[in-house]
Amino acid sequence: MEGVKVRGKYLLTGRKETIYKRFYHFVIFLCFLPFLSPAIALFTGLLFSLFGFRHATIHRFTSPVLQLSIVLMGFGMSLNEVITASKTGFVTTAISVVSVMLLGILLGKLFRVEKNITLLIATGTAICGGSAIAAVAPILNSKSYQNSFALIVVFVLNAVALFIFPFVGRELGLSQELFGNWAAIAIHDTSSVVGAGAEYGEKALQVATTVKLIRALWIVPLSLVIAFLQKKNGARSVKFPWFILFFLFAILFANFFPGLQASYDHFSWLGKRGMVIALFLIGSNITLGEIKQSGPRSFALGITLWVLTAVGSLFFLIR
């Protein structure tokens, strides 16, 4: 392979550089198609990384794409559904978010996982998986491999939860409403929450979806708290996460001016596909050395936190 090796990757030059740039552009184009899921995009990026292919300049756009995607997805959130669900789910959500974050930080220290990976996994588990990780990552100024590991852990556990939760719910004889609340608390990504709820029943789907919307809104205060703590601890490069406020503004704007719903649907779709692009870029920007550095302990942290969250939240709901 021709080129200059940097951090275990080849920065290709000349004709080969042009060829591999086209590979990048082709995959980014595929990210706009429905069959390319976030998990597949991240895995494809990891393959690019493992084979030593790296675009020389495109990775500088990863953070802006992440932030813009978060803002655009705000246009797809229903404030009315969130307010309705909050009458029964707000207190439970507040307790669970704070508890999971504190437990995640404690387990991170126990497993000796890097601080940023710990916070990313804890945030993804406490709120809404990959979307929450993507929102917090720019605030932490986390590295690509840290983002990747947090996302990999979340995606793997999401896939497992999609099959396990409906089975456990039926074995325990959980009601539709109880299962919906449990799924929204203990399953990471909204997509898997919706999938598990739909598998369990119509009422479970409705409850799970609306309660998950409440959890998603916790991205805003949690991001502001993390930014404040980063600044307080002397992190020089911390900037105020303005994109989180824009995310909140997008939610409010879409709900105060419902006449533009068709446009909001397009914005929300674009945000979701932008997130897929960002995950591809994140995956393609890590090295084998970085994977070996944090892999096993990150998974141990993620699995332990997830199991404790699932068991603890179920016990809290049925008591």
- Mention every residue, 6+ apart, whose C-beta is less than 8 A from residue 171: none
Give 15: exposed, middle or buried? Use CB within 10 Å, 0-12, 13-18, 19+: exposed
Q: Tokens representing 282?
A: 């994140």
The Cα-based distances of 271 to 94, 102, 274, 312 in angstroms read: 26, 30, 5, 33
Alpha carbons 56 and 39: distance in angstroms, whole number: 24
Q: How far is CA 228 from CA 116, 127, 222, 239, 269, in A?
A: 15, 19, 10, 9, 31
**pLDDT at residue 6, as a whole number:** 46
Which distant-in-sequence residues (6+ apart) come within 8 Å of 140 by Cβ?
A: 116, 119, 120, 226, 230
- Divide the 319 residues of the chain into consecutive groups of 10 and give the mean pLDDT of each group: 46 60 84 81 79 70 77 78 60 81 94 90 87 83 82 79 88 91 85 78 79 78 82 58 74 85 88 81 68 73 92 87
For the question of whether the overall pTM of this predicted structure is more than 0.95, the answer is: no
* Contact call for residues 135 and 244 (beta carbons, < 8 A): yes
What pLDDT was estimated at residue 4? 46
Whole-number pLDDT of residue 238 = 47
